[in-house]
Structure 1
Amino acid sequence: MFKKLICSTLVGVALMAVTTIQAQTTFPAKAIRIIVPFAAGGTSDILARSLGQKLTESWGQPVLVENRVGANGNVGADHVAKSAPDGYTLLLSDVGALAINPSVYPNMPYDPVRDFSPVGMVAYSPHVFGVHPSVPANNVKELIDYAKANPGKLNFAISGTGGAPHLAGISFAQRTGINWTYIPYKGGSQAVADVASGQANVIMNGMLATYPTVKSGRIRALAISSAQRVGSAPEVATIAETLPGFETGSYQGLLAPAGTPRDVIGKLNAEMSKILATQEMREKLAVLGTEVRTAQPEALGSFIASEKSRWAQVIKESGIKFD
């Protein structure tokens, strides 16, 4: 009996070893889907399509981008969380949305820390803090002064209720003592379009998706939300130059369902990091004010957990209630 148990155990270990080796040598053996939980044209979507194209070229397998929109990213994220943990269904999302949603939605269908295996950070795009040219403000101080002199007159376009741009606006209002009306849209691209057309007044949105409209003159950039000015737009001040320590932005990460084999995660991370390190990708993103930021899976997991705590505190202090 003991000998049979030993043999059975050895067979099991051998099978696990073979499975691991096969995963290492054959992945990917079919098409990969990258789920973007936001509308097309936003920061996550632009990054997913750029990265997906390069992964297709590297591996010779199709990497398809699919937009699954709803509940500030929850629909797409939940789909990935409940997908097979084999590396063939991935999530590319604004880390802020994942971290903020537990404080916004009382009945979350997934846990952003427990239900994903982080692959790695992709990029950081500061928020552009901008206004329609009809708003009489050319910098942050002038906007604060105007908003205080005209309480409730300005409206603030957001990519979705409870998203990172929304919380950035709340944080800014907390620091300055102003108030404005938030107008939620089904994605950042719609919010940008309405500010550009004058249907909305103010926006705080990822620079990658917003800066082309700034360069066209349809949105006036007052500042960006990074700690330092960015090389692609050195003339644009930071919000921190007026409000010391203010820093927000669109941190983008790639994640797989929890339980995805470590070797598959490692292969995804290595190839993604290799692509993002190329001069072509760095220059392509830098032109749009986006900085490549790669990180090991464990570092991304820790970052999501810390952001979850950070934004929970902001929401608690604001007293805001979400429907």
Structure 2
Amino acid sequence: MWTDLPSGFRERASGGVGPAPPGNPAGCGRRAFLGASLLAGAGAGALARPAAAQDPWPSRPVSIVVPGPAGGTGDVISRSIVPMLQQSFGRPVVVDNRPGANGEVGSRFVARGAPDGYTLLMGSIGHFAINFALRPGLSYDPVKDFEPITLVATTPNVLVVHPRNPARDVASLVAWMKERGDRTSYATSGVGSSDQLTMELFKQLTGTQAQHVPYPGGPPALTDVMAGNVEMAFFNLGNVTSHVREGRLRAIVITSAERSSLLPEVPTGVEAGLRDLVVTSWQAMMVPSGVPAPIVSRLHGDITAALRQPQVVQRMAEIGFTVSASSPAECRAFQISEIGRWKALIERQGIRPE
């Protein structure tokens, strides 16, 4: 499906009521925020006309750097919009996969690149928020080093257990976990991953314990949960939908604000009494800081237009994502609120990088 903003996004981006805990560092009221957004948009539009005559951007190929492997979420999303962007730009658009160090390699490459609008970064919640909150020595600053273009896509996480587990819902799972104490384990795709932080949030909200078992990526973690070697895990919706439907996993709760049409029988955290268990994994498009405002405005218009195309919406739905869009200012405010949210959780739960 297509949505202009994910549920709760506009409220959090504007400093209003939303699923994030108190203390949202975005720090801007709705009226001031919207006013700033309008002024920014007006300024970009005013600059665009003379700049177009001086610099016919783009005059050469544009690259989208994905700080992850081919076939990953960022790669799939990027490749889905390439045909439309090539048509809009009149130039080739190349997807450049640069995985390594939890996305630090590719993100740093773009951060240190020329601010000319020819190198874009398709990054995730990890690259633009969690890494910064978790790793003090990160070699790039996701706020200072990047200019946001738009939020791109979002998906909730789903808590799943092996079908042999006696728990059928949040209440029975919490009771089972409390009875077992620290003998319960949960799998993740790695330290500092969105799925780990979602599980740590669940533990905090329910007063439960569970031992963290990190894996080198989502696929091996999913394999071990399905084999019953680890008791539970949070995964992105698209990664577990077919397994839940076919009975290989049991879904306990979903972290979206509303139930998903892909798994309509699975209750939300809010329905289960966990008001703050509203979490989205997200992707956003950014460029190095210093890219001229007219180019940022052009990129925003062309990328959001590509995201609206039915074939892109359909491709995102196939992998469990909802295509989303925002203004650059809204994207930045949301990013800052996410950094604050996860930094607070990381400190409370004592999470440390590997």
Deviates more, 1:258-267 or 1:201-210: 201-210
Q: CA, structure 1 residues 189+36, in 2 after alignment: closer, same or farther (shift >3 Å)?
A: farther
Deviates more, 1:32-41 or 1:97-106: 32-41
Q: State the alpha-carbon separation in 2 of the partners of residues 18 and 247 from structure 1.
A: 42
**Is residue 85–residue 257 contact of structure 1 (8 Å, CA) maintained in 2?**
yes
Q: CA, structure 1 residues 17+318, in 2 after alignment: closer, same or farther (shift >3 Å)?
A: closer
Displacement after TM superposition at 1:199 (Å): 4.1
Q: Is it true that 1:166 corresponds to 2:196 in the alignment?
A: yes
Partner residue of 1:275 out of 292, 306, 327: 306
Partner residue of 2:329 out of 298, 312, 316: 298
Give the secondary-structure state (helix, strand or coil) at the position aligned to 1:165.
Answer: helix
* Equivalent in the alignment of 1:21: 52
RMSD of aligned residue pairs (Cα, Å): 2.6
TM-score w.r.t. structure 1 length?
A: 0.85
Give the secondary-structure state (helix, strand or coil) at the position aligned to 2:108.
Answer: helix
**1:180 is matched by which residue type in structure 2?**
A
* Equivalent in the alignment of 1:245: 276
Matches within 5 A, 1:13-52: 20-21=51-52, 25-27=56-58, 29-52=59-82
Q: State the alpha-carbon separation in 2 of the partners of residues 68 and 165 from structure 1.
A: 22
Q: CA, structure 1 residues 123+20, in 2 after alignment: closer, same or farther (shift >3 Å)?
A: same
**Is residue 232–residue 287 contact of structure 1 (8 Å, CA) maintained in 2?**
no
Give the secondary-structure state (helix, strand or coil) at the position aligned to 1:109.
Answer: coil
TM-score w.r.t. structure 2 length?
A: 0.78
**Is residue 150–residue 284 contact of structure 2 (8 Å, CA) maintained in 1?**
yes
Q: State the alpha-carbon separation in 2 of the partners of residues 22 and 191 from structure 1.
A: 53
* Equivalent in the alignment of 1:11: none
Give the secondary-structure state (helix, strand or coil) at the position aligned to 1:229.
Answer: coil
**Is residue 48–residue 294 contact of structure 2 (8 Å, CA) maintained in 1?**
no
Displacement after TM superposition at 1:32 (Å): 2.6
Q: CA, structure 1 residues 319+271, in 2 after alignment: closer, same or farther (shift >3 Å)?
A: same
**1:303 is matched by which residue type in structure 2?**
F
* Equivalent in the alignment of 1:188: 218
**Is residue 44–residue 93 contact of structure 1 (8 Å, CA) maintained in 2?**
yes
Displacement after TM superposition at 1:66 (Å): 3.1
Q: Percent identity?
A: 36
Displacement after TM superposition at 1:35 (Å): 2.0
Displacement after TM superposition at 1:220 (Å): 2.4
Q: State the alpha-carbon separation in 1 of the partners of residues 228 and 236 from structure 2.
A: 19
**Is residue 211–residue 288 contact of structure 1 (8 Å, CA) maintained in 2?**
no
Q: State the alpha-carbon separation in 1 of the partners of residues 85 and 337 from structure 2.
A: 29
Q: CA, structure 1 residues 232+32, in 2 after alignment: closer, same or farther (shift >3 Å)?
A: same
Deviates more, 1:305-314 or 1:209-218: 209-218
Q: Is it true that 1:314 corresponds to 2:341 in the alignment?
A: no
Q: Is it true that 1:201 corresponds to 2:228 in the alignment?
A: no
* Equivalent in the alignment of 2:103: 73
Q: State the alpha-carbon separation in 1 of the partners of residues 219 and 50 from structure 2.
A: 43
Q: State the alpha-carbon separation in 1 of the partners of residues 55 and 223 from structure 2.
A: 44
In structure 1, the gaps of 5 or more residues are 1-15
Deviates more, 1:57-66 or 1:219-228: 57-66
Q: State the alpha-carbon separation in 1 of the partners of residues 166 and 189 from structure 2.
A: 23
* Equivalent in the alignment of 1:127: 157
Give the secondary-structure state (helix, strand or coil) at the position aligned to 1:240.
Answer: coil
Give the secondary-structure state (helix, strand or coil) at the position aligned to 2:183.
Answer: coil
Displacement after TM superposition at 1:64 (Å): 2.7
Q: Is it true that 1:113 corresponds to 2:149 in the alignment?
A: no
Give the secondary-structure state (helix, strand or coil) at the position aligned to 1:151.
Answer: helix
* Equivalent in the alignment of 2:174: 144
Displacement after TM superposition at 1:107 (Å): 0.8
**Is residue 80–residue 315 contact of structure 2 (8 Å, CA) maintained in 1?**
no
Q: CA, structure 1 residues 169+17, in 2 after alignment: closer, same or farther (shift >3 Å)?
A: closer
Give the secondary-structure state (helix, strand or coil) at the position aligned to 1:150.
Answer: helix
Deviates more, 1:163-172 or 1:44-53: 44-53
**1:284 is matched by which residue type in structure 2?**
R
Displacement after TM superposition at 1:181 (Å): 2.0
Q: CA, structure 1 residues 267+197, in 2 after alignment: closer, same or farther (shift >3 Å)?
A: farther
Offset from partner CA, 1:145-195 (integer Å, 9 cap, x none) = 222122233322222211222111111111112122222233334433443
Deviates more, 1:235-244 or 1:61-70: 61-70
**2:344 is matched by which residue type in structure 1?**
Q
Q: State the alpha-carbon separation in 2 of the partners of residues 137 and 26 from structure 1.
A: 57
Q: State the alpha-carbon separation in 2 of the partners of residues 25 and 86 from structure 1.
A: 12
**Is residue 208–residue 285 contact of structure 1 (8 Å, CA) maintained in 2?**
no
Q: State the alpha-carbon separation in 2 of the partners of residues 176 and 38 from structure 1.
A: 33
**1:178 is matched by which residue type in structure 2?**
T
Displacement after TM superposition at 1:22 (Å): 5.5
Q: Which runs of 4+ in 1 moved over 6 A?
A: 16-19
**Number of equivalent positions:** 307
